[in-house]
Amino acid sequence: MSASDKPKPAASGTVHRPIGVFDSGVGGLTVLSALRQRLPSEDLVYLGDTARVPYGTRSPETVINYSQRVASRLVREDIKALVIACNTATAHALEALQEAGARIGLPVIGVIEPGVQAALTASRGGTVAVLGTEGTIRAGRYQQALERAGTASIGQACSLLVPLAEEGWTTGEVAEAVAERYLAPLQGQVDTAILGCTHFPLLREVIQAALPGVVLVDSAETTAEAVAEILAEQGLLQAPRAPAPTRFLVTDNLERFVTVGHRFLGHAPDPVTLVDLPDPEGAFAAP
Ligand code: DGL
């Protein structure tokens, strides 16, 4: 390990700072739940960019700009690590945010690499399906990472599953018909499918019915594990204690976030604060 690769010793007081987690809206709450389970002593602050959701149909440039703005806002919360709990934002903005984070000693973790690890563990050597938003599939990050690991993949955008999860229509004939329409071409072609969108774990039942015998993996738990490893490596792990209540920041429509968030978390997110996003600032300002 070269001197520059060595984890920086944590500055005094750093371990007590919160982990920042963000998504375009409510979907990242599935990752937040996994983080709470895996890292019960950590303080967490979640930002849902509900004013700009969905990210899944936007251009890479726009998603990078939104992600830089969210990261800038979370840095104001004095975070010690940043988790991109959104597949689309990870697909487009991970590199930009990691480069900026490295300038201020802020580790930035996305959901794609952990999702690929989960798929490689689950796969029995067959082809892996990647299910995601249009942006995630078009960016091809999952497919490239699988290819690097010598595993064939098929990407399938399933954009309509996002509003279905938001609406709470996660079972029943409409959800079944939509899942079947997207997934029928994959039947018999794949042995594993990555739920490469934060909303899809809520639709697990209908996705499984459309892909019988296929192992479904999601990145929430493996992402939480990756965060735990990075915090441990960098001396940033909080010692056992009762954490502060998780705080939620949203950029629009607080009431809807509480209602829909309840479905994702199993309880109403609270306290929730409405915030504005700054233009990218500090390390996250475009060079
Ligand atoms: N959170 C997004 C993702 O995981 C889905 C919702 C959106 O399109 O913004 O890709």
- What are the angstrom distances between the C-alpha of 100 and each of 21, 127, 152, 283? 16, 35, 32, 5
For the chain, how big is the Rg over CA atoms in Å?
Answer: 18
Q: Kindly give the distance from the C-alpha atom of residue 242 to the centroid of ligand 1, in angstroms, as a whole number.
A: 31
| Residue 261 DSSP SS3 | helix
> Is domain 112-219 annotated with CATH 3.90.1150.10?
no
CA angle (24, 199, 66) in 5-degree steps: 15
Task: List the structure tokens of 43.
Answer: 């303080």
- What local confidence, expressed as pLDDT, does residue 14 receive? 85
Q: Taking the complete model, does pTM exceed 0.75, yes or no?
A: yes
- What are the angstrom distances between the C-alpha of 243 and each of 45, 144, 149, 175? 11, 38, 38, 37
Whether pLDDT at 23 is above 90: yes
Catalytic residue status for 86:
yes
Task: Please give the class, per CATH, of domain 14-110+221-284.
Answer: alpha beta
Q: Kindly give the distance from the C-alpha atom of residue 102 to the centroid of ligand 1, in angstroms, as a whole number.
A: 25
Q: Kindly give the distance from the C-alpha atom of residue 260 to the centroid of ligand 1, in angstroms, as a whole number.
A: 14
Task: List the structure tokens of 14.
Answer: 């750093």
Q: Name the residue of 86, 134, 219 to mutate for ligand 1: max ligand atoms within 8 A of Cβ.
A: 86
The atom number, within ligand 1, closest to the CA of 196 reads 4
Pocket of ligand 1 (CB under 6 A): 23-24, 27, 53-56, 86-88, 133, 136, 162, 197-199
CA-CA-CA-CA dihedral for 79, 256, 198, 50, to nearest 10: -60
Instruction: Give the tens place of pLDDT for each residue, 187-244.
Output: 999 999 999 999 999 999 999 999 999 999 999 999 999 999 999 999 999 999 999 9
pLDDT band, very low/low/confident/very high, at 9 (cuts 50, 70, 90): very low
- What local confidence, expressed as pLDDT, does residue 7 receive? 41
pLDDT band, very low/low/confident/very high, at 13 (cuts 50, 70, 90): low
Give ranges for CATH 3.40.50.1860 in the chain: 14-110+221-284, 112-219
Beta bridge partners of 273: 249
Catalytic residue among 94, 197, 214, 236: 197
Q: Kindly give the distance from the C-alpha atom of residue 1 to the centroid of ligand 1, in angstroms, as a whole number.
A: 36
Catalytic residue among 74, 85, 86, 116: 86
**Residue 47 to residue 88: CA distance in whole angstroms:** 15
**Residue 68 to residue 142: CA distance in whole angstroms:** 22
Give the start-end residues of each E strand in 139-279: 153-157, 192-195, 215-218, 247-250, 272-274
The atom number, within ligand 1, closest to the CA of 135 reads 10
Catalytic residue status for 158:
no
DSSP code per residue over 102-156: HHTT--EE-SHHHHHHHHHHH--SS-EEEEE-HHHHHHTHHHHHHHHTT--EEEE
Whether pLDDT at 133 is above 50: yes
